[in-house]
Amino acid sequence: MIDFARVQKELVECGKDAEGSGIKVTPKSDNLVLLLGTIPGPIGTPYEGGVFKIDITLPDGYPFEPPKMQFSTKVWHPNISSQSGAICLDILKDQWSPALTLKTALLSVQALLSAPQPDDPQDAVVAQQYLKDYQTFVNTARYWTESFAKPTSLGIEDKVQKLVEMGFPEAQVRNILEAVGGDENLALERLL
Amino acid sequence: MSRRVLCKFFAHGACLKGEHCEYSHDWNDPPNLICTFYQKGVCAYGSRCRYDHVKVSRPQSSTASSSITEQRPLVSDDVVFGNTGITSNGIAAAPEFSPSRSPSFIPSIPAWNQEQQQYHEFVGDDDVSQSRITSPAEIPICSFAAAGNCPRGETCPHIHGDLCSTCGKHCLHPFRPEERAEHMKSCENKQKHLEALKRSQEIECSVCLERVLSKPTAAERKFGLLSECDHPFCISCIRNWRSSNPTLGMDVNSTLRACPICRKLSYFVIPSVIWYSTHEEKMEIVDSYKAKLKSIDCKHFDFGDGNCPFGTSCFYKHAYRDGRLEEVVLRHLGAADGDTVIAKDIRLSDFLASMHLQ
């Protein structure tokens, strides 16, 4: 049975310090089983400036079992699946401790963003890129942050206008933007 | 009214009524320390009673015959205490007892005076055969002063005990050193325990994030002390964690038996109603817990019929039906060079360690 009294306390505690750490936890439903965590991208990394959303599901045994956490914002990182957002972090698995809270777990995830562990990858493609072509990795990670984790993403018309101003034909820009799901950076790569 | 009196069960961390209790669960409220036995007449503990021996504050009942209740207190004060005083060595001089007092008066005298009177009768008898009092240690001290306040003050005919610095009452008998020492020791222990309990109120469990001594049920209002570190948990949380199923690939020793905060491995948890502040206090709690378990028969050992998985390191008592304790069998091993070695505990890990070396 989930210790809801503790979850309540954790939410209050998190709310008090939201300004300082930038880490927020809000309930998605009334029953406090599904929560939404947000962490700011660490400064000095390709994730800087992004705000990442993490879906949290509390298991029945919480806090004696680790919370299930998954990125809902797409992230380019060796230890985070670029497809599903699954996180490879020991404290969310076998190194969990009931003295850890949602906030400390999110802080650990934030720390993972600034310190990737390519030797223990969750996403092999990203890990390969990180090891073999670090500069491309940084660029891709920054693109993904710009595209998916920016709180105020540009609207589709702004993107079209921006690309048209770069000298591409409008019809082609619209087609390609649609094909890549509205990602202006990916569209730019295609256009080039 | 009673809501503003501290619940004595709560003070010991054991009130089962919780918020439904008619007494106060607020540490700021004073506890009720009035001895009910004394109020009803006689308290068998006398001056050694831990509760206050004070007069009843109930209104004077009009049921008793008016002539006696109106006159009696005056008479008794004048007659009984009129000729008393404190002699130079501090011993109450016996009053001159008036034999004319008829027994029919006694029920009309309030309880506190009654005791006084009986005492005076006792002293009065002794006064007749003075030789029976051999030392001042045999005379009891004033119970009013011992309870905190004697209404007669300087004029009191009885010995006033010396002031106990811990409880602030004049309850130390000047001529009974053993009693003094005993009182001072128990008083200090009581005070220490209360202070420790008060300090413990603030301690939060790091797992449920609640104050351990404010949990809803009495069974939960206990700390679970870890043998190897000093992080506070409530007994239910730490036991829950240590007994949770290692399903997610958690290692029993490195994760479940480790402290959730510092991850230091502890082999056992000690339940305690108070939190400690020094290492000595912790050792005292641990030792008294172990001593208590040692007096309980191990159900696995079952008086020799069963088999205890903990063997000689079991905390419980391993005794046979006839009261004989289980003997630790020493194993003699012949070493390669011909010497005999006594092996005390043989653990599988010892062999594993030596295998590693080879």
Q: What's the confidence (pLDDT) of residue A58? A: 93
Is B337 buried (19+), middle (13-18) or exposed (0-12) by CB count in 10 A? Answer: exposed
Residue of B nearest to A2 (CA): B208
Interface contact B248, partner A, CB < 8 A = yes
- What is the dotted CATH code of the domain comprising A4-124? 3.10.110.10
Q: How many CB atoms lie within 10 A of CB B200?
A: 21
* All structural domains of chain A with their residue ranges: 4-124, 155-192
Suggest the residue from B207, B244, B252 to mutate for an interface test with chain A (most A CBs closer than 10 A).
Answer: B207
Query: How far apart, in whole angstroms, are the C-alpha atoms of residue A102 and residue A98?
Result: 10
- Averaged over B235-253, what is the pLDDT? 79
Rounded distance between C-alpha atoms, residue A159 and residue A146, angstroms = 13
Strand-pairing partners, residue B334, are B340
Neighbours of A108 (CB within 10 A): 17
- CB nearest to B208's CB, from A3, A93, A96: A3
Beta strands in A41-89 (DSSP E): 51-57, 68-71
Q: Which of A33, A36, A51, A88 is catalytic?
A: A88
pLDDT tens for B35-76 read 888 887 788 888 888 888 876 554 444 444 444 434 444 444
**Chain A neighbors of B261, CB-CB under 8 A:** 97, 99
Exposed, middle or buried by CB within 10 Å (0-12, 13-18, 19+), for A123? buried
The string of DSSP codes covering B15-70 is: -SSGGG-SSB--TTSPB--B-HHHHHS--TTGGG-SSB-----SPPPS-S-HHHHH
A88 annotated active-site: yes
Domain residue extents for chain B: 33-200, 212-294, 316-357
Q: Is the bond leading into B30 cis (omega within 30 degrees of zero)? A: no
Residue B254 to residue B85: CA distance in whole angstroms? 75
Residues B284 and B225: their CA atoms lie apart, in Å, by 12
What is the C-alpha to C-alpha distance for residues B13 and B137, in angstroms, rounded to an integer? 38
Residue B244 at interface with chain A, using a CB cutoff of 8 Å: yes
Position A85 scores a pLDDT of 92
Distance from CA of A56 to the nearest CA of B (A): 18
Q: At B88, which helix (H) or strand (E)?
A: none
- Burial class of residue B96, CB neighbours in 10 A (0-12, 13-18, 19+): middle
What is the rounded distance in angstroms from the CA atom of residue B323 to the CA atom of residue B39?
A: 47
Q: Going by DSSP bridges, is the β-strand pair B223-226/A24-27 parallel, antiparallel, or unpaired?
A: unpaired
Nearest to B270 by CA among B230, B224, B331, B325: B224
Cβ–Cβ contact A30 with B under 8 A: no
> Is B209 within 8 Å of A10 when comparing Cβ atoms?
yes
Supply angle C-alpha A5, B236, B271, rounded to 5.
140
Residue B309 DSSP code: T
What CA–CA distance (Å, rounded) separates B223 from B230? 11
CB pairs under 8 A between A and B: 46
User: Using CB atoms and an 8 Å cut-off, which of residues 249-288 of chain B contact chain A?
Assistant: 249-251, 255, 258, 260-261, 263
- Using the beta-carbon criterion (under 8 Å), do B207 and A99 form an inter-chain contact? yes
CA B231, B233, B239: angle at the middle one, nearest 5?
Answer: 120
Distance from CA of A26 to the nearest CA of B (A): 19
Structure tokens that stand for B211 in this block: 């104050």
pLDDT computed for residue B164 by the predictor:
82
At A78, is the secondary structure helix, strand, or coil?
A: coil
**What is the spatial distance between Cα A56 and Cα B287, in angstroms, rounded to a whole number?**
44
Tens digit of each residue's pLDDT (9 = 90 or more) over B245-301: 766 667 777 778 889 999 888 888 999 988 888 898 899 999 999 999 989 999 988
The two structure tokens encoding residue A50: 């992004």
Q: Give residue B93's pLDDT band: very low, low, confident or very high (50, 70, 90).
A: very low
The predicted structure's pLDDT at residue B324: 83
Is the pLDDT score of B335 beyond 60?
Answer: yes
Alpha-carbon radius of gyration of chain B:
31
What does DSSP assign to residue B358?
A: -
Lowest mean pLDDT among A99-113, A116-130, B3-17, B324-338: B324-338
Name the 3-class secondary structure at A135. helix
CB contact under 8 A, B248 and A96: yes
Measured between CA atoms, the residue of chain A closest to residue B208 is A6
Beta-carbon neighbour count of residue A2 at 10 Å?
18
Across A28-39, b (16+ Cβ under 10 Å) vs e yields eeeebbebebbb
Instruction: Give the pLDDT of residue B57.
Output: 54
All residues of chain A having their beta carbon less than 8 Å from the beta carbon of residue B250 are 94, 96
Burial environment of residue A10 by CB neighbours within 10 A (0 to 12, 13 to 18, 19 or more): buried
Backbone torsion region of residue A33, taken as left when φ is above 0, otherwise alpha when ψ lies between -120 and 50, otherwise beta: alpha
- Does residue A75 contact residue A40 with C-beta atoms inside 8 Å? no
For strands B331-334 and B340-343, give the pairing. antiparallel
Within 8 A of A88 by CB-CB distance, chain B residues are: none
Q: Residue window 3-22, chain A: list those with CB within 8 Å of chain B.
A: 3, 5-6, 9-10
Instruction: Check whether B97 has a pLDDT greater than 60.
Output: no
The answer, for B325 touching chain A at a CB cutoff of 8 Å, is: no
Query: Please, which residues 50-79 of chain A have a Cβ atom closer than 8 Å to chain B?
Result: 61, 63-66
Query: How much is the pLDDT for B66?
Result: 41
Mutate to test the interface with A, among B214, B248, B261, B263 (most CBs of A within 10 A): B248
Distance from C-alpha of B192 to C-alpha of B10, rounded to nearest angstrom: 17
Rounded CA-CA distance A67/A93 in Å is: 9
Please check the confidence at residue B347 and state whether its pLDDT lies above 70.
no
Which of A22-36, B22-36, B135-149 is predicted most confidently?
A22-36
Q: How far is CA B275 from CA A87, B213, B349, in A?
A: 39, 10, 35
Residue numbers in chain A where pLDDT is lower than 70: 151-156, 181-183
How far, in Å, CA of B232 to CA of B271, rounded?
Answer: 11
CA–CA separation, A125 vs A114, rounded Å? 19
Sorted by sequence, the CB contacts under 8 Å of residue B30 that are 6+ apart come out as B5, B6
Q: What pLDDT, in 10s, does the model give residues B100-134? A: 444 444 445 555 554 444 444 444 444 444 445 56
